[in-house]
C-alpha cells in the first residue's frame, strides 16, 4: 500500500481510456488509486469520440439497409421512403454513452478507486493539486488526453464550424457539409453524412484524398471509390481559405492543383487531427520534458517521463492515438510501478480500424513500407465479390490483402469490406506471432463466412487455391 506520507500508491491525472485503464488494472493488483477527472470518466473516446461516432455509423448502416430493403424482398408501404430523425439518433447515441459511463463508474467504485472531480495540476513537490485539495502518490500517471486541432479562420463556434466533439452529440442534421481532413475522423464522418443523405464534400490537403496516412494505398482506394459512388465529392490536394458567411450558411474557398473553387455549405467539420492536452497541468513545475511536437516525452519501455515516478500514457504521448493503445500503455506503466518487467507495446503491429462503409482495418506493414524496409515481398489478395456470405448480406465491395516476406512471416494484413473490424483479429495475431501464410492457410474457416476470404488469401501463397 501507500508509503508513509502518501495518500495513494498512484494518482492518475485524467479519466479517459488510458487513465481509467490504469486505475482499474492498478486497483486489481491491490494498489490504492486516485483518479482525477474534471469532466466525465471515459474521456473523449467514450463521451465525444469513439463510442458516439460508431453509434452514428451504426445508424447510417441501418438507414442504408432500410433504403435498400427492396433488394432483400422487403417492400416498404406508402411512398417507400425512409427518413432519419436526427433528434432520435442523438437520443439513442446519448443512451449508449450514458449506459457505458454508468457501467464504468460502477466498476471503478467496485474496485475502490477514489474519483476526484476537478482540474488537476502537478506541483513542484510531486503532488497533484485539485481545486485546493492535495493528493500525494508514490507514482503519478499523466493521461490528460487530446482535443481537436483547429485551422486559422476556422475557429469552431459549435454551429456553423464544428469539430468531431460537436458532431457526435448534435441533434441537428445539416443538408450540406464540408469535411476538412480525409483522415480517420474525417472519413468516418463523411461516410455517415453521405449515407444519411447529406451533400458531403471532403477536402484533404494531401495528394491522397481519403486516409492519406496509415493504410495500404490499394485498400484506401477501395474506400475512396465507394464514398465517391455513394455521393461524396472528394478533393485531394485542397488548400482551404477562411470561410465567408452566406445566406444561412458559409462559402468555403479552396485551391486544388491549378484550380480555385468555392462551395456553399451549411456547416464545416474540421477534422485535421488532435493535439495533446499538456497546458495548465503543471508540467513545468516538475520540469517534465516535451518533445518537438509538444507531446510528453517518455521511455516507451516503461512509459516513464524524465522525472522519476511520473509516467505518461495515451494521447499526451506521441504514439498511435487509439484507445486500445492507451489501455496497453496503462498496463505497462502499472507493471513498472509494481516493480515488474513489462512487455513494451510494439507500435508497428497495433491493430487499426476505420469504421467507414466499407470498413478499413490493418496491422503491420503496408506493401510500400515492406518494400522500403528491404524485404523480398510477396503479396496476395482475395476480393469479397465472390464470397458467399458477402453476397448474402449484400456487401461485396472490398478485399483481403496479405503482405508477406517471401518464404517468411506475414508482415502486414489489410482489409477493406464488411465487418473488417471483427475480421482483423485473425490477421493481427498472425502478424504479431510472425506466422507464415502457410501456417494460417492450414486452418479451416467456416462456410459460408466472410473469414473464408482470409483463408483463401493465405492458401494462395502455396501456389494453389480453391476459388481465387
Q: Which residues are catalytic?
A: 447
343 DSSP 8-state letter: -
Distance in angstroms (rounded) separating the CA atoms of residues 445 and 429: 16
* List of residues 6+ apart from 95 with CB closer than 8 A: none
Question: H helices of 244-322, where?
Answer: 283-286
Residue written as grid cell 477534422: 271
Residue pair 399/417 in contact (Cβ under 8 Å)? The answer is: yes
In sequence order, what are the beta bridge partners of 179? 202, 269
Pairing state of beta strands 199-204 and 176-180? Answer: parallel
Query: What would the grid cell of residue 137 be?
Result: 502518490
Cα–Cα distances in Å, from 403 out to 75, 252, 322, 379, 386? Answer: 43, 41, 23, 5, 21
E strands within 287-366? 310-312, 352-354, 359-364
Give yes or no for a cis peptide into 67 (omega within 30° of 0).
no
Helix (H) or strand (E) holding 379: strand 377-383
Question: H helices of 38-150, where?
Answer: 43-47, 50-67, 86-110
Q: Provide φ and ψ at 240, rounded to 5°.
A: -85, 155
Distance in angstroms (rounded) separating the CA atoms of residues 82 and 439: 47
Query: What would the grid cell of residue 445 be?
Result: 474457416
Amino acid at each position: 500500500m501507500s508509503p508513509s506520507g502518501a495518500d495513494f500508491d498512484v494518482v492518475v491525472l485524467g479519466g479517459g481510456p488510458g487513465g481509467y485503464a490504469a486505475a482499474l488494472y492498478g486497483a486489481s493488483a491491490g494498489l490504492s488509486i486516485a483518479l482525477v477527472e474534471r469532466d466525465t470518466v471515459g474521456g473523449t473516446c467514450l463521451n465525444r469520440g469513439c463510442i458516439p461516432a460508431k453509434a452514428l455509423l451504426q445508424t447510417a448502416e441501418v438507414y442504408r439497409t432500410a433504403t435498400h430493403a427492396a433488394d432483400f424482398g422487403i417492400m416498404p408501404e406508402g411512398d417507400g421512403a425512409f427518413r432519419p430523425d436526427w433528434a432520435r439518433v442523438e437520443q439513442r447515441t446519448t443512451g449508449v454513452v450514458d449506459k457505458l459511463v454508468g457501467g464504468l463508474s460502477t466498476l471503478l467504485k467496485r474496485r475502490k478507486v477514489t474519483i476526484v472531480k476537478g482540474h488537476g495540476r502537478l506541483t513542484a513537490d510531486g503532488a497533484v493539486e485539485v481545486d485546493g485539495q492535495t493528493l500525494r502518490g508514490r507514482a503519478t500517471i499523466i493521461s490528460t488526453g487530446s482535443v481537436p486541432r483547429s485551422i486559422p479562420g476556422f475557429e469552431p463556434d459549435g454551429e456553423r464550424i464544428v469539430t468531431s466533439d460537436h458532431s457526435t452529440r448534435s441533434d441537428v442534421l445539416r443538408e450540406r457539409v464540408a469535411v476538412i481532413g480525409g483522415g480517420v475522423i474525417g472519413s468516418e464522418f463523411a461516410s455517415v453524412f453521405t449515407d444519411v443523405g447529406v451533400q458531403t464534400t471532403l477536402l484533404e490537403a494531401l495528394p491522397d484524398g481519403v486516409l492519406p496516412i496509415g493504410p495500404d494505398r490499394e485498400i484506401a482506394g477501395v474506400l475512396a471509390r465507394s464514398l465517391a459512388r455513394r455521393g461524396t465529392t472528394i478533393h485531394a490536394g485542397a488548400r482551404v481559405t477562411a470561410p465567408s458567411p452566406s445566406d444561412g450558411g458559409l462559402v468555403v474557398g479552396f485551391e486544388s492543383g491549378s484550380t480555385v473553387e468555392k462551395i456553399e455549405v451549411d456547416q464545416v467539420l474540421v477534422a485535421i487531427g488532435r493535439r495533446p492536452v499538456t497546458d495548465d497541468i503543471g508540467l513545468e513545475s516538475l520540469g517534465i520534458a516535451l518533445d518537438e511536437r509538444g507531446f510528453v516525452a517518455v521511455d516507451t519501455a516503461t512509459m516513464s517521463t524524465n522525472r522519476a515516478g511520473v509516467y505518461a500514457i495515451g494521447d499526451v504521448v506521441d504514439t498511435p492515438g487509439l484507445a486500445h493503445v492507451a489501455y496497453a500503455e496503462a498496463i505497462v506503466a502499472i507493471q513498472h510501478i509494481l516493480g515488474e518487467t513489462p512487455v513494451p507495446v510494439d507500435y508497428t503491429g497495433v491493430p487499426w480500424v476505420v469504421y467507414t462503409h466499407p470498413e478499413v482495418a490493418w496491422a503491420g506493414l503496408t506493401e510500400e513500407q515492406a518494400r522500403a524496409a528491404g524485404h523480398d515481398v510477396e503479396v496476395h489478395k482475395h476480393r469479397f465479390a465472390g464470397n458467399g456470405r458477402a453476397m448474402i448480406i449484400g456487401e461485396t465491395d472490398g478485399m483481403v490483402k496479405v503482405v508477406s516476406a517471401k518464404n517468411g512471416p506475414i508482415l502486414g494484413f489489410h482489409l477493406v469490406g464488411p465487418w473488417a473490424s471483427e475480421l482483423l483479429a485473425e490477421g493481427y495475431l498472425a502478424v504479431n506471432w510472425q506466422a507464415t501464410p502457410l501456417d494460417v492457410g492450414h486452418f479451416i474457416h467456416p462456410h459460408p463466412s466472410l473469414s473464408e476470404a482470409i483463408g483463401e488469401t493465405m492458401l494462395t501463397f502455396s501456389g494453389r487455391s480453391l476459388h481465387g
